Amino acid sequence: MSEVNNAFEHAKKWIQEAGAQIREQMNQPFEINTKKDHTDLVTEIDKNTEEFFIHKIKEHFPHHQVMGEEGVGEEVTSLDGTVWIIDPIDGTLNFVHQRRFFAISIGIYVDGEGLYGLIYDVMEDSLYIGIKGKGAYKNGERLAAINQERTLEDALIGINNFWAIPNKRLDETKIHELVRKVKGTRSYGSAALEFAFIAEGIIDAYITMRLAPWDIAAGKILVEEVGGITTKVDGSEIDMLNGNPVLCSNKAIHQSLLTFIKEK
Ligand code: 2AM
Ligand code: CA
**pLDDT tens-digit series, residues 231-256:** 999 999 999 999 999 999 999 899 99
Average pLDDT, integer, range 201-225: 97
Q: Dmax of the chain from CA atoms?
A: 52
Q: What residue owns the CA closest to ligand 1's atom 3?
A: 90
Distance CA 55, CA 50 (A): 9
* Pocket perturbation via mutation, ligand 1, pick of 41, 190, 208, 209 by most ligand atoms within 8 A of CB: 190
Q: What is the pLDDT of residue 262?
A: 84
Same domain, 64 and 122: yes
Model pTM score: 0.97
Same domain, 67 and 96: yes
Q: What is the pLDDT of residue 73?
A: 76
Residue 37 lies in a domain: yes
Residue 226 lies in a domain: yes
Same domain, 226 and 118: no
For residue range 56-105, list pLDDT tens digits in order. 999 999 999 999 998 887 889 999 999 999 999 999 999 999 999 999 99
Residue 6: what are its φ and ψ, rounded to 5°?
-65, -40
Same domain, 196 and 86: no
Q: What residue owns the CA closest to ligand 1's atom 2?
A: 91
State yes or no: pLDDT of 230 exceeds 90: yes
- For the chain, what percent of residues have pLDDT higher than 70? 100
Count how many residues are written for the chain. 264
Q: What is the pLDDT of residue 110?
A: 98
Same domain, 16 and 44: yes
Whichever domain contains 70, its CATH number is 3.30.540.10
Which residues fall within 8 angstroms of residue 14, CB to CB, at 6 or more apart? 52, 53, 56
Same domain, 159 and 125: no
* Pocket perturbation via mutation, ligand 1, pick of 215, 242, 248 by most ligand atoms within 8 A of CB: 215
Average pLDDT, integer, range 207-212: 94
Q: Cβ distance 236 to 131 under 8 Å?
A: no
Same domain, 14 and 101: yes
Q: What is the pLDDT of residue 72?
A: 81
Any idea what the Cα angle at residue 31 is, between residues 28 and 33, rounded to 5°?
A: 150
For the stretch 57-71, what's the b/e string if a residue is b when 16 or more beta carbons lie within 10 angstroms of its beta carbon?
beeebeebbbbbbbe
Whichever domain contains 218, its CATH number is 3.40.190.80
Average model confidence (pLDDT) across the chain? 96
For residue range 182-200, list pLDDT tens digits in order. 999 999 999 999 999 999 9
Q: Which is nearest to 247 in space by CA: 197, 214, 210, 213?
A: 210
Q: For the chain, what is the domain count?
A: 2
Same domain, 32 and 133: yes
Same domain, 91 and 23: yes
Q: What is the pLDDT of residue 264?
A: 84
Q: Counting atoms of ligand 1 from 1, which one is nearest the CA of 215?
A: 10
Q: What is the pLDDT of residue 9?
A: 98
Residue 263 lies in a domain: no
Same domain, 114 and 7: yes
User: Using alpha carbons only, how large is the chain's radius of gyration in Å?
Assistant: 18
State yes or no: pLDDT of 126 exceeds 90: yes
Residues of the domain holding 166: 152-258
Which residues have beta carbons under 5 A from ligand 2 (an ion)?
69, 87, 89
Q: Counting atoms of ligand 1 from 1, which one is nearest the CA of 46?
A: 3
Same domain, 19 and 117: yes
Distance CA 45, CA 255 (A): 39
Instruction: Name the band, by pLDDT with cuts 50, 70 and 90, for residue 167.
Output: very high
Instruction: Name the band, by pLDDT with cuts 50, 70 and 90, for residue 1.
Output: confident
β 156-159/205-211 pair status: parallel
Please report which residue ranges of the chain form alpha helices under DSSP H: 3-25, 44-60, 92-97, 172-181, 191-200, 213-224, 251-260
Q: Cβ distance 242 to 213 under 8 Å?
A: yes
Distance CA 141, CA 226 (A): 13
Q: What is the pLDDT of residue 121?
A: 98
Same domain, 111 and 177: no
User: Who lines ligand 1 at CB under 6 A?
Assistant: 40, 69, 87, 90-92, 160, 189-191, 210-212, 215
